[in-house]
Amino acid sequence: MIELAPRELASDWLAGVESTPALVFDPAICQHQWAVLSDALPGVRLYYAVKSNPYHDLLQTMADLHAHFDVASAAEIRMLEQVGVSSSRMIHTHPIKTETEIERAVAAGVTTFVVDNVDELWKLIPYRHQIRVMLRLAFIAPDAPIDLSKKFGAPPQDALSILDVANDSGVRVDGLCFHVGSQAGSASTHATALEWCLDLCEQIKAEGLPEITRIDLGGGFPAHYLNEPVDLMAFCAPIRSVLARVPESIEVMAEPGRVISAPSMALVCRVIGRAKRGDAWWFYLDDGVYGAQSGRLFDGMQYRMTVYTSATDRASCVFAGPTCDSVDELGRFPEFPVLNMNDIVVLHEMGAYTLASATHFNGIAPPQVVTRALPDLTRDVGTHA
C-alpha cells in the first residue's frame, strides 16, 4: 500500500538525519512489542533473535529489558557482550556450525546449543559436560511465506532415534525446538507442533530416555507490513490453549525476531534520479535490494510506503534502487504521481532482516541508523496512490 502526503511534511522524518538513506529506530516500539508478546505468551521465556536486527541501540534496549537472546554466531555473542548481556542469557540456535564457532561460543560461556542431525551431535561431544542441547524438528506452517524447515530440522518421526544416539554419545539433549517459518499467517502450526512435542515427551519417558525439560517455539510471529495490524494476543491464542497442557517440569521458550524488530524502524529514502523510459517514469531511490530492501528478493516482502511529494501529474512508473544491477527494482505502478528529484519515500516496518543483510555493493553504504521517536503518521496520510 502506498500513501501520499504533502512534500513539506517530510521534514519530520528528516530531523536528525544527516543524509539519506536512513533507518530511524524507535526504542519505544520494540519495548512495546516485547511487552505485548510477553503478555500474549504468559510463562514463555522470550529470546530475542539477534539475527533479525543486531543494531547496537536495539540490543541495548532489549538488554535494558533484561531480555534473553538467541544467537547464531560468535560475532552476535560479542555484540551482546558489548551491551552488557551475560552469556547465561543467550542460547546458540544455529543447527549447523563450525567447530571454531562452537569453541568460541563455549569459551564465551554459552551452554545451550541446537542440533538437527547426528553429525552435528558429534561436534558437541568434546563439550558434553558443559552444555545442554535442543533437538530441532521440522514443522512447516503452510501460511508462512518464509520456510525455515526445508534447510533445517529433523523429520519429527526421526526424533526418537536421534535422541537414542544422543543418549549413547553422552551429550545431554533436554530440549525440543522448531521454527515453523517466518511471518506466519497464524499460530496454528506453533500450537500443533507444541502438542506434537508434548506427545513426544511422553514417548521419550516411556523409552527411558533422558527427560525433556524445554520446548522452544522458535520465531514466526508476524509484523504488520501490507496486512491488517497484528493483534498478537489473538494471534497467540492457539498457543495459549496448548500451554495449559504443558507440565511444570517443562519450560517453554520462544525466539521472536521480526515481530520485535520490524515495526521499530522506518526507512527514509530520497529520489536521487529519474528518467522517462518509453511510457514509464523510472524513479531511482538511494536504497534498494542491495541495501535495506533485500527482503523483496529473499522473502518476497512488500513494504508499506508513504511518499512525500507535491507532484500532481500521473503516469506509469517504476521504482528502482541505486545500484547498477537491473535486479535492483522495487515495484511497478500503472498510475502514480510523477515524482520530483529529492522527493522523500518512507518505508514502514523496516527493522527486520534489512540492516542485518544490507551490503556495500557498488561501494554504496547501507543506510545510516538514527535513534529517535518515529513521527506520528496519522497526520501525514493524505490519499492512496
Ligand X SMILES: Cc1ncc(COP(=O)(O)O)c(C=O)c1O
Residues involved in catalysis:
324
Under rule CB under 6 A, which residues in 85-144 are in contact with ligand X?
Answer: 93
For position 255 contacting ligand X by CB under 6 A, the verdict is: yes
Q: List the beta strands (DSSP E) in 80-123.
A: 90-92, 112-115
Count of Cβ atoms closer than 10 Å to residue 294 Cβ: 18
Helices (H), 154-312: 159-169, 188-206, 232-235, 237-243, 258-261, 295-298
Closer residue to ligand X in complex, CB, 106/356: 356
Shortest Å, Cβ 352 to ligand X: 6
- What SS3 state is found at 30? helix
Cell 508476524 found at: 222
Residue 99 CA: distances (Å) to CA of 65, 102, 111, 117, 228: 32, 5, 15, 15, 44
Q: Enter the DSSP assignment of 75.
A: H
Terminus-to-terminus CA distance in the chain, angstroms? 8
Closer residue to ligand X in complex, CB, 113/221: 221
Amino acid at 72: A
For position 46 contacting ligand X by CB under 6 A, the verdict is: no
**Is residue 382 left, alpha or beta, with left meaning phi > 0 and alpha meaning psi from -120 to 50?**
alpha
Asked whether 253 and 288 are in contact (CB, 8 A), the reply is: no
Asked whether 285 and 308 are in contact (CB, 8 A), the reply is: no
The interface region with ligand X, picked from 1-9, 198-206, 253-261, 263-271 by CB under 6 A, is 253-261
For position 219 contacting ligand X by CB under 6 A, the verdict is: yes
Backbone angles phi, psi at 96, to 5 degrees: -130, 120
For position 218 contacting ligand X by CB under 6 A, the verdict is: yes
For position 52 contacting ligand X by CB under 6 A, the verdict is: yes
For position 258 contacting ligand X by CB under 6 A, the verdict is: yes
Closer residue to ligand X in complex, CB, 258/348: 258
Under rule CB under 6 A, which residues in 158-197 are in contact with ligand X?
Answer: 179, 182
Shortest Å, Cβ 168 to ligand X: 26
Q: Which of 24, 29, 37, 49 binds ligand X (CB under 6 A)?
A: 49
For position 270 contacting ligand X by CB under 6 A, the verdict is: no
For position 70 contacting ligand X by CB under 6 A, the verdict is: yes
For position 296 contacting ligand X by CB under 6 A, the verdict is: no
Binding mask 322-361 for ligand X (x = CB under 6 A): ------------------------------x---------
Q: How many residues bind ligand X (CB under 6 A)?
A: 18
Interface positions with ligand X (CB under 6 A)? 49, 51-52, 70, 93, 148, 179, 182, 218-221, 255-259, 352
